[in-house]
Structures are given as C-alpha cells and as structure tokens.
Amino acid sequence: MALVPTINNNELPIIAEVNMGADSTAPTVRATVVQASTIFYDTPATLDKAERLIAESASYGAQLVVFPEAFIGGYPRGSNYGLTIGSRSLKGKEDFRKYHASAIDVPGPEVERLAAMAGKYKVYLVMGVIEREGYTLYCTILFFDSQGHYLGKHRKLMPTALERCIWGFGDGSTIPVFETPIGKIGGLICWENKMPLLRTAMYGKGIEIYCAPTADSRELWQASMTHIALEGGCFVLSANQFCRRKDYPPPPEYTFSGTEEEPSPESVVCAGGSVIISPSGTVLAGPNYEGEALISADLDFGEIVRAKFDFDVVGHYSRPDVLSLTVRDHPTTPVSFTHAASKTEVFQTL
C-alpha cells in the first residue's frame, strides 16, 4: 500500500490508499468516505457543502461517495431537548421544532437535489439524513445511483440512548442491499452495526460494500468495523463527522448539556475516525482524527473471494440445521383501513 496525500484548493485533505497489488482480473472500485461537519440548522447550506465535497471526490476519481450519519439535518450532539422523566422543558420543545424544520421529506426537493448531484458527478451516493415523516423524525441513509436515480433508504432500526426520544424506529422494510454495477451496496447506522442478527440479515442479502455512517469517534469503533469486514467478507466504509463547537449555533441557541463548562469554539466535539477496511481486515485508508477530509481507497473485489474462501458466514460456515434467522421485512403501520369495496369483494367471494 502507498499513502498518497494531496491537498485541494480549499485546503481539505484528500487521503487515499492505492492498492498497488490489486488483481487486474477482478473489478476495482474507487470509494471515498467524507469526514465533514453539518452546517447545523441550515439545510440549504449543508446541501451546498455536500455538493462541493461530492465534486471534490469525483475529481479524484471516486465512483462511490459515503457521507456520515445525519449529515443533512445534523446530529444533535450534546443536546437533551429539556428531557427528564415526567417532563419536557419549553426550550427543549422549541429546540425540537427547529431540528424538525431542518429535516427533509423523502421524497422531497432535497432528495431530488441529491439525486441530481449523483447524476451530475457520476457517482453512487450514500447520504446520512434526518428524515421527516409528518411530525416524526428518522435517522436515515439514502442511496442514489450514478445516473441520478434515488434507489431507496434505510431507517435506523434501533436508535441509541436519548436518540430514542427524538427519532422514530425503522422497520424491516428498509434494510435494503442494492445490486449495482459497482457491487452490492447497503448500510447500517452507528450502533445498530453492533446488532448481530441485523448484520446477518445484511450478509444474507449478499452485501459487498457495507456502509457504516456513524457518530462514534472512539478508537474502539475501529475494532467493530474490522470485525464486520472479517465476519461479512465485505468492504466496510465508515464515515463520521469531524465537528468543532463552532460548527453548531452559539449558546443560548444551542447548548451542550451535561458538560461541566461550555466548550470553546475550537473544541473538538467529534473527532471523526472515518475508515475503509478490506474483507481481510486490512485498513485501506484512515482512520483520520485530524480534521475534515476525503478518505479514499481502491476496492479490489478479488479480496472478497479470497476472504470468503476462509470464512463465508452465510455460506459454507453456516449451520442452518442448527441456527437460522427469520427477518420480517414488511412495513409496519400504526393505522390500517379496510375499505368498503374490499369488504364487499370478500362477502361476494364467500
């Protein structure tokens, strides 16, 4: 492996690992994970920033670009929305109103713009967003192809800790793996990557490029990403934001709860750690803890075959006679209606 660092005109580091020993007979895909911060409470400006980063990635040859968790809409780090057991504060409710206003509808104009970006720069795009459906928010990944088509979405199945109070729960209908010309692409968000049965569902769908947008910048996260690459025999692309206090609105508009003192504007509140890992567990690029960056690697698909020869978790290494998994992949809705016409048809049949 040869490290090839370059700097673009905006002084955003581009860090790439070029695989000098790739199998020339196997397909190779250049992938980029984006490590950058949301412009909090300003979705139009965040979309503008996303387009600049996609353009930069494409100029470096990226065919696939993966953004962090909640990049559009923002990850509300340090906020508690005035929640205590038995009460909510008026300020917390207003904070949620502003956060709700920053989220996007799927489908909606922001999704159309993201699709246009993917088509303009000819990249497959994986984007972390806060999705708004009515008055409920979801932490979601959106997928787009290089022709500018929206492919679908994954809603976070299990929000972590206080996230459960501000985001709804996804269901089995949004855990897709998309078969594309550059490989089978899917993803899980942050700590739901720690859910063994959910990972197994992804392996069962044949995932090859496993995207893991996250908000976890701890070094321990790297162990999880390496394990998933080895377990699934797939490439793992984990994208996280790099944020300083100044990337969030100043107090009192936005406060970091639970800290002894308000962080200074330059304080790092999320240190990134974005990384790309091969099916053999080799770190191809990253992790980066230094600042905003574009982190790229060439994915040699021959590595998947070599890794699966050793261990194919849903193939020769499975024991369905002893262990099996059932996934309920239908939508769940709180309200359903039986129309009068349907009732009439049933009676006529009887």
- Tokens 């400006």 locate to 45
SS3 content of the chain, % helix, strand, coil (to 5): 30, 30, 45
How far apart CA 161 and CA 73 sit, in angstroms, is: 19
Alpha helices (runs of H) in the chain, residue ranges in sequence order: 43-59, 90-102, 109-121, 163-166, 196-204, 220-232, 302-310, 340-349
How far apart CA 61 and CA 97 sit, in angstroms, is: 40
Q: Residue 258 burial (CB < 10 Å; 0-12/13-18/19+)?
A: exposed
Per annotation, catalytic residue among 11, 17, 56, 69: 69
How far apart CA 294 and CA 60 sit, in angstroms, is: 10
Is 69 marked active-site?
A: yes
Q: Are 206 and 213 in contact (CB under 8 A)?
A: no
What type of residue is 5?
Answer: P
SS3 34: strand
Q: What is the total residue count of the chain?
A: 350
Catalytic positions are: 69
